[in-house]
């Protein structure tokens, strides 16, 4: 692989950095932490105004495909939220690859203008890792599909214009072959969104589908081909589109606090900061490898698992170390007087645990690596 970025990509990165720096304001951060909605609409629109979102959509942009990674890595390293825009861009890429003309015409400009978000309706109350067991049903009725079921953890459903929903369309086929992906407007009658607030600050949702009627034009990809559509989306999510360098802003906040407070004089503090800096660098290189594979036309399924596993586990370790190091001040929250690292240590200690769950748990990623890289026997048929 080639770690060198072309001059065009370096110029793209500079433009992204400038816009992110201008929009990652204290007010934007305050709103995200108050609402739990990890989105910065002003940033999305500013990036869109310069064409920087369109360039990053897989298969669409005129830019180097590596710009997908550059965009989200820069947003994440600045400590700005990647979740909402990340999912929207990823799904725009999937629609670009497998969507019909109407889906492309409606969704892609809405995403590349920074206006529309999309949520993912895969997980259910009883189904997460083993998605092929999902029970949400889509049943044919004349020209329409009638969808009934419940989804869990539908992050951004309260702001999204569309949901991509995985539903069972043929219960007689083997489990992962009878699933279809639908792209459904969130204002379709029969959809309900209930908030779920997490310890990680981030708000997510439970969503309910009660006799939701949609036409064939809402099928994304092939009928009973939903597994393939989901796999493409997931392989981008794991390791390329953010979620792999949250340790960077944590380290910056903590190092600045250690300097201000005089704690930097302690060898144990310096050692922990150095170890986290090394882990952050390894995570960045693993991410860049996944991104390079994706940008060269491959699907970094295995490499994405390696990246996600290493990055989320080391982020968790870093926030634990820093909280132990900070003592009682590490338990104080953002904006509380005396909080270590202005409260970021406390926030990251609550946020890092969920990063080993969403987008594929640590155990699932370990299974993936064990089977596909080490050639160990399958954990499950
Ligand atoms: C904050 C947050 C946001 C999320 N956002 C979304 C979203 O927007 N859309 C969406 O569809 N989903 C979302 N998810 C759901 C997420 O993808 C699932 O939580 C995750 O896949 C795990 O599924 P589960 O919660 O059902 O746990 P389970 O799959 O029940 O797992 C429970 C435990 O068993 C382990 N385990 C399961 N299977 C195996 C196995 N084969 N081998 C070894 N260990 C195993 C797991 O690692 C875990 O420790 C979100 C989750 C969170 C926490």
- pLDDT band for position 32 (cuts 50, 70, 90): very high
Same fold, 7-117 and 120-225: no
End-to-end CA distance of the chain: 33
Of ligand 1's atoms, which has the minimum distance to the CA of residue 360?
Answer: 21
Q: Is 285 in the pocket of ligand 1 (CB under 6 A)?
A: no
What's the whole-number mean pLDDT along residues 176-180?
A: 96
For residue 240, name the pLDDT band (cuts at 50, 70, 90): low
* Overall average pLDDT of the 299-306 stretch: 87
The structure tokens listed for 256 are 């600045």
Closest CA to 80 of 134, 149, 24: 24
Q: Are 285 and 376 in contact (CB under 8 A)?
A: no
pLDDT for position 160: 98
Assess if CATH 1.10.8.870 describes domain 238-372. Answer: no
Decide which of 220 and 298 is more confident: 220
- Does 235 have pLDDT greater than 70? no
Q: Is the CB of 123 under 6 A from ligand 1?
A: yes
Identify the pLDDT of residue 152. 98
| Higher per-residue confidence, 113 vs 358 | 113
Whether residue 190 is predicted with pLDDT greater than 90 in this model: the reply is yes
229 C-beta neighbours (distance < 10 Å), count: 26
% of the chain beyond a pLDDT of 70:
97
Interval between CA 361 and ligand 1 midpoint (Å): 6
Mean pLDDT, range 23-48, rounded to an integer: 96
CA 95, CA 25: separation in Å to the nearest integer?
A: 32
Residue whose CA is closest, atom 32 of ligand 1? Answer: 129
pLDDT mean over 57-84: 89
For residue 238, the model assigns a pLDDT of 55
Looking at every residue in the chain, the average pLDDT score rounds to 94
**In the predicted model, what is the mean pLDDT of residues 135-159?**
98
This prediction has a pTM of 0.95
> 217: number of CA atoms within 13 Å, CB side?
8
Condensed to tens digits (0 to 9), the pLDDT of residues 95-146 reads 998 999 999 999 999 999 999 999 999 999 999 999 999 999 999 999 999 9
pLDDT value at residue 381: 59
Q: Residue whose CA is closest, atom 43 of ligand 1?
A: 363
Domains in the chain: boundaries: 7-117, 120-225, 238-372
Q: What is the pLDDT of residues 241-263, one digit of tens each?
A: 677 889 999 999 999 999 999 99
Element (H, E) at 280: helix 267-295
Q: Is the CB of 280 under 6 A from ligand 1?
A: no
Fold for the domain defined by 7-117? Butyryl-Coa Dehydrogenase, subunit A; domain 1 (1.10.540)
Q: Which of 65-79, 219-233, 289-303, 332-346 has the highest mean pLDDT?
A: 332-346
Contact 257, 263 (CB under 8 A): yes
**pLDDT in the model for residue 280:** 96
Distance, CA of 245 to CA of 242 (rounded, Å): 7
CATH T-level topology, domain 120-225: Butyryl-CoA Dehydrogenase, subunit A; domain 2 (2.40.110)
Q: What is the 3-state secondary structure (H, E, C) of 286-355?
A: HHHHHHHHHHCCCCCHHHHHHHHHHHHHHHHHHHHHHHHHHHHHHHCCCCCCCCHHHHHHHHHHHHHHHH
Q: Is 344 in the pocket of ligand 1 (CB under 6 A)?
A: no
Identify the burial level of 84 via C-beta atoms within 10 angstroms of its C-beta, where 0-12 means exposed, 13-18 middle and 19 or more buried: buried
**What pLDDT is stored for residue 243 in this prediction?**
76
Per-residue pLDDT, averaged over 227-232, amounts to 86
């Amino acid at each position: 692989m080639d770690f060198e970025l072309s001059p065009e990509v370096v110029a793209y990165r500079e433009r992204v950095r400038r816009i992110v720096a201008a929009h990652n304001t204290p007010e934007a951060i305050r709103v995200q932490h108050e609402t739990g909605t990890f989105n910065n609409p002003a940033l999305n629109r500013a990036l869109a105004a310069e064409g920087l979102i369109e360039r990053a959509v897989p298969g669409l942009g005129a830019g180097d495909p590596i710009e997908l990674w550059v965009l989200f890595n820069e947003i994440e390293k600045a400590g700005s939220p990647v979740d909402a825009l990340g999912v929207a861009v990823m799904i725009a890429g999937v629609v670009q690859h497998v969507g019909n003309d109407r889906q492309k015409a409606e969704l892609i400009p809405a995403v590349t203008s920074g206006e529309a978000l999309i949520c993912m309706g895969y997980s259910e109350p009883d189904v997460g890792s083993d998605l092929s067991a999902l029970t949400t049903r889509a049943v044919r009725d004349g020209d329409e599909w009638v969808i009934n079921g419940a989804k869990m953890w539908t992050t951004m459903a309260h702001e999204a214009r569309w949901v991509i929903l995985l539903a069972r369309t043929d219960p007689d086929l083997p489990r992962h072959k009878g699933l279809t992906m639908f792209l459904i407007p969130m204002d379709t009658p029969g959809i309900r969104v209930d908030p779920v607030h997490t310890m990680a600050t981030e708000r997510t949702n439970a969503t309910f589908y009660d006799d939701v009627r949609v036409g064939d034009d809402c099928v994304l990809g092939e009928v009973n081909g939903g597994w393939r559509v989901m796999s493409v989306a997931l392989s981008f999510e794991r390791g390329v589109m953010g979620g792999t360098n949250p340790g960077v802003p944590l380290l910056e906040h903590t190092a600045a606090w250690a300097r201000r407070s005089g704690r930097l004089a302690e060898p144990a503090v310096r050692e922990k900061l150095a170890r986290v800096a090394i882990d952050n660098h390894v995570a960045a290189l693993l991410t860049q490898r996944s991104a390079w594979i994706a940008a060269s036309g491959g699907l970094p399924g295995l490499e994405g698992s390696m990246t996600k596993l290493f990055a989320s586990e080391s982020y968790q370790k870093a926030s634990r170390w820093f909280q132990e190091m900070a003592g009682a001040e590490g338990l104080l929250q953002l904006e509380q007087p005396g909080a270590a690292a202005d409260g970021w240590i406390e926030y990251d200690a609550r946020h890092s645990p969920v990063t080993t769950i969403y987008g594929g748990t640590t155990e699932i990623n370990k299974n993936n690596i064990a089977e596909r890289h080490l050639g160990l026997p399958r954990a499950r048929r």
